[in-house]
Amino acid sequence: LTRFWTDEDLIIRRKMAEFEQAACYGLAVPCHYIDQGSSAMACALGCPMEFVDRETVWAVPCLSSVGEVLDVVLDFDGPVYSRIRRLTQRSTELSGGHHMVAPFALEGMTDIMAALLGIEPFLMALALDPAGVYQAMAHLKTLWLKAWADIQSVIQGGPNDGGIGWAGIWAPGSTF
């Protein structure tokens, strides 16, 4: 299971094979969503990844207080983020006239906070320390924007005129 989620050669071969077995009609566009689970951003920020099955990855909470969120950094060389970046780069290099590349799951701020702290501690912090949560979420937003800009720069460096996004489906009008 770990190999399924972390072997970059296998991930790229598997996705390219899926494209070769699929047909797109009408307005459909072949799209490679860089899938490292819906908790990918939280894992890029330090949460250990728990591989549940071939569909699900959970982020294991790694912080014990809202104040600790302010010390979280986006480590471009960390194992999760660097793998995501390499997968995005490789898919982008293969994409010309073949498929569009979509960024990994950057998640929403509350999803990231809940993953970093755990759901119950996050909800308690919302009730007991709303100002601290606000400050922590502002910090996470800064990290999110750094990751977004970085991954978009990789996608924009490819042979296609842009990429394809998913965020507008979740939050219409909020994409960059």
Residue type, 103: P
* pLDDT band of 174, cuts 50, 70, 90: low
- In this predicted model, what pLDDT tens digit does every residue of 118-137 receive, in sequence order? 999 999 999 999 999 999 99
- In this predicted model, what pLDDT tens digit does every residue of 69-94 receive, in sequence order? 999 999 999 999 999 999 999 999 99
- Say yes or no to pLDDT of 171 above 60: no
What is residue 117's predicted lDDT score, i.e. its pLDDT? Answer: 98
- Say yes or no to pLDDT of 168 above 70: no
Residue 129 backbone dihedrals phi, psi, to 5 degrees:
-145, 60
- Angle formed by the axes of helices 130-156 and 119-128, to 10°? 130
